[in-house]
């Protein structure tokens, strides 16, 4: 899948600019901490959050694609220091919020409880991100006037939005996502603009 198209898709689904997206495109590092402080338990939790967002059905889910490990790489390599700090703090905040809602940690919850809890976070995240967008707007518009859009670095979004963005990016750029969920042909054939669509066909991985 083309990286730019993937970023557009993720931004559309999550309703906010993709954090770390520009660095993801260029392959450069941010200069933030080389070790953001991830632990094995952090990665296990992120795997379960990702699996709740993209669960296994007749094809593997996010956990099979090791999305938690991918999040570690993306946060370490593509996030600024401020964004890294917000994400790492968010891991703890997610568990605390889950305890308040269900009287137990996310890892202790049933699949349905996890789903309902993350669904409840969507509105909280949307309201938070709207405030971030308003705060960033003057700086973004000033840089746009100067033709320096590339210098704009967005403030951290809500931690759940960042986790969801990384889940989608990680899954659909993984071997599992591209070859088992999407349709993939290693050697491209000719372009056929009139290829008939059969209901239920998987999307193509470019």
pLDDT value of position 170: 87
pLDDT value of position 187: 44
Partners of residue 183 on adjacent β-strands: 204
* Higher per-residue pLDDT: 197 or 165: 165
Task: State pLDDT tens for residues 7-39.
Answer: 676 666 676 667 776 655 555 566 667 778 899
Q: What's the mean pLDDT when you consider all of the chain?
A: 82
Tell me which residue of 106, 134, 174 sits closest to 16, measured CA to CA.
134
pLDDT value of position 134: 94
Tell me which residue of 66, 81, 68 sits closest to 35, measured CA to CA.
81
Tell me which residue of 99, 74, 102 sits closest to 88, measured CA to CA.
74
Q: Measure the CA–CA gap between 134 and 139, rounded to whole angstroms.
A: 10
pTM across the whole model: 0.76
pLDDT value of position 93: 97
Residue 106 CB-density burial (10 A; 0-12 exposed, 13-18 middle, 19+ buried): buried
The lowest-confidence range among 2-11, 129-138, 184-193 is 184-193
Tokens read off for 144: 């746009």
Task: State pLDDT tens for residues 123-134.
Answer: 999 999 999 999
Distances (CA, A) of 59 to 63, 65, 70, 114, 118: 12, 11, 19, 20, 22
Task: State pLDDT tens for residues 65-121.
Answer: 999 999 999 999 889 899 999 999 999 999 999 999 999 999 999 999 999 999 999
Tell me which residue of 96, 99, 46, 41 sits closest to 70, measured CA to CA.
46
**Helix count (H) and strand count (E) of the chain?**
8, 0
204 phi/psi in degrees, rounded to 5 = -90, 140
pLDDT value of position 123: 92
pLDDT value of position 197: 57
Q: Summarize the confidence of residues 179-184 as an average pLDDT.
A: 50
* Higher per-residue pLDDT: 42 or 154: 42
- The Cβ-side half-sphere exposure at 83, using a 13 Å CA radius, reads 27
- The Cβ-side half-sphere exposure at 173, using a 13 Å CA radius, reads 20
What percent of the chain is predicted at pLDDT more than 70? 71
């Amino acid at each position: 899948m083309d990286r730019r198209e993937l970023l557009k898709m993720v931004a559309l689904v999550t309703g906010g600019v993709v954090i770390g997206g520009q660095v993801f495109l260029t392959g450069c590092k941010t200069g933030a901490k080389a070790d953001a402080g991830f632990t094995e338990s952090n990665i296990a939790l992120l795997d379960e959050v990702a699996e709740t967002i993209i669960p296994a059905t007749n094809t593997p889910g996010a956990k099979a694609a090791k999305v938690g490990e991918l999040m570690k790489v993306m946060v370490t390599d593509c996030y600024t220091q401020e964004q890294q700090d917000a994400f790492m703090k968010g891991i703890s905040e997610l568990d605390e919020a889950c305890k308040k809602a269900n009287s137990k940690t996310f890892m202790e919850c049933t699949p349905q409880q996890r789903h309902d809890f993350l669904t409840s976070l969507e509105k909280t995240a949307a309201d938070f991100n709207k405030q971030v967008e308003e705060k960033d707007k003057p700086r973004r518009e000033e840089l746009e006037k100067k033709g320096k859009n590339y210098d704009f670095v967005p403030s951290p979004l809500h931690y759940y939005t960042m986790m969801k963005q990384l889940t989608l990016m990680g899954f659909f750029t993984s071997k599992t996502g591209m070859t088992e969920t999407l349709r993939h042909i290693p050697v491209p054939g000719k372009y056929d603009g009139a290829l008939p669509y059969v209901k239920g066909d998987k999307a193509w991985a470019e």
